[in-house]
Structure 1
Amino acid sequence: MLQPSAAFMSAARPRTLARWLFVVAALIVAMVVVGGITRLTESGLSITQWKPISGVVPPLTEAAWQAEFNRYKQIPEYAAFNRGMDLAGFKAIFFWEYLHRLLGRVIGLAFAIPLVWFAVKRRIPAGYGWRLTALLALGGLQGAIGWWMVASGLSVRTDVSHLRLAVHLVTALVILSGIVWTALDLLRLNRDGGAAAPARLYRVAVIALLLLFTQITWGAFTAGLDAGYAFSTWPRMGDTFFPAGVQMLAPAWTNAVDNPVVVQFIHRWLAFAAAIALFWLAVRATRAGSRAGFVVVGLVTLQIFLGVATLLTGVKIDIAVAHQANAALLLIATVVAAHRIGVQRKGQLRIGY
């Protein structure tokens, strides 16, 4: 007769869980893309209330649409930038914010319902329940962060706080990273059995991920401050490496997060520090037998070209959205490469992914 722990492991389905997590990860990437479009089309403040449950139903009558539009007319953004907008124009910006929030609800259900089912059916391998529950809790927190971000633009400001925007984006990508890492651990558990320990996070991976997340944070600052419009030349900003006569803020450190020119400057050149760390990680992953290293190099190169193209085109929406989408894909590739290094052991067969 099987012992209780052995019986539990025999019921576990790590490969099935991994596939489910990859589907959720794909939904998060889609949400990041829609979030980018929402920001670039200035649609994020079109819904001025947070209704986690009833908000899933959009306005269905002309009177309901007009009531929603009237609420939007009461916030500073409308008075500053959209005075005179008609109902059709409002419906256009409403669409992207509604789709963004709807995707958030879909992701929540796509994670929570299967998680409960897997738990009831005892399909979750030992040691993974707490990790999946933590990811679920972080997803719930992300919904609150999203409203906290929107609320910052409903009274005094004419847009959302770029700091809160950065928290919102980084939290989404932390969740994405955790989901992909857990799925990879589950795939390895399925392949190698109960003896497979979770992957470790080595120093090279920590450095690469920290620099990538830092670069993404300054990308969010750049988007939130509309700093991408400050200078549309590259590699110089105008005629010089750093433009003269820029009005600086006090205290001096606030320029790094609040001054659009300085923020764009940091985002431009921090990219290359992150690229060096990612190339280093890619080499280590390739030596460990992983094809992810080649993907990381390709996506880093593409990301730099998309960043430059975003500047040179004056933040053309399709290119800027591609830049943000590629950042999410680059993060996934980086996590895969980091995970492969984390399971490499001396004398281990090189079976890469």
Structure 2
Amino acid sequence: MNKSYIVIIEIVMVILVAVYSISTWYFFGRDPKRKAVVPEFNVPDNISAMFVAYINGERDSKEILKIGILSLILKGYISEVDETGTGNKKYILNKKNRDNLKLRKETLFQEENNLLDVLSENDLFGNKIGIIGFKNRIVHFLEKKYKRMIYKNNYLFFVPVISGIAISIVFILLKLLQGNLESAIIGTMFIFILLEYVHGMSEGILKFLYAAVMLGIIVAVMMYMEIYLGLSLFILGIIFLVYEKAIGKYTVSGRRKMEYIEGLKMYFETAEKNKIDKFETEEEKLNYFNRIFPYIIALKVENEKIGIFKDSLDFLNIMGSYAEAQCYVNEYVDRKFPVFRKKYIFW
């Protein structure tokens, strides 16, 4: 194929991909408008503490598991009992609540239900295989939930962009391989497989070296083949990187949930204890604390919780049962699951 034709095709391809990227971003990739974020006092009724932790950036499945266990304790699905003849306390499933399907539907989120189902009746962590299985899949489960409810990556819109880059690479390889179309297509497929592999790599020196090598290849194309070919490939690469970040968008309900979580965190960080004081009885304060505490842990604002509660009620007495639960679960998990020893179960 005539060299001038190849250059023209490359330029047209860059223009088409650029127009397509801007157009699809404008119509499908812009985030819903943000509302003003205000401190939120009430516990969210449509999102679990485990999911809040994931949205807040937690990816350690052990930490998410801990928050789930804490939530089940505070919702009454795990009870504290005295061990017969020893005077020691242990924690077991509250069978009455566990078997109450209506109560579970009203008070538990799907991920909490799944966790409850793998816990054993008289020995919480007796089902070791089930617990490990839950731990291994919980982050993947929450990731799918996040992509379904909160943030759409809109990867289907990438097909024309990737196709444009593929056509550009094919033409460059055609020139390099002196018109061998079959080899050019095979080479393009290999390059995209390599790109997919590198895209999945963790950040670090390997990714940096890969980017340096790819940039070197583009410079070599510009210097030794045709400057317009290398420049078009470079521009398409930049468009791809920007488009990947820009085309994803929050759903409207996802944006509202994110704003609510920001407001909840703002409330904890400002420690507005006057809101706590609106409760008339200690029981009301304790009930509120039971509902809010897993979200405090999920948002990693544990220090602020003392500022909010200790002046409003007998904080040490309330925390006593949770401290005992913490000691029990930590000791038990250390014994049954040595891999968990690095971190405490609750905080």
Q: Same fold (TM over 0.5)?
A: no
Taking structure 1 as the reference length, the TM-score comes to 0.27
Higher RCO (C-alpha 8 Å, min separation 6): 2
Q: Per residue, is there more strand in 1 or in 2? A: 2
Task: Mark the structure with the bigger radius of gyration.
Answer: 2
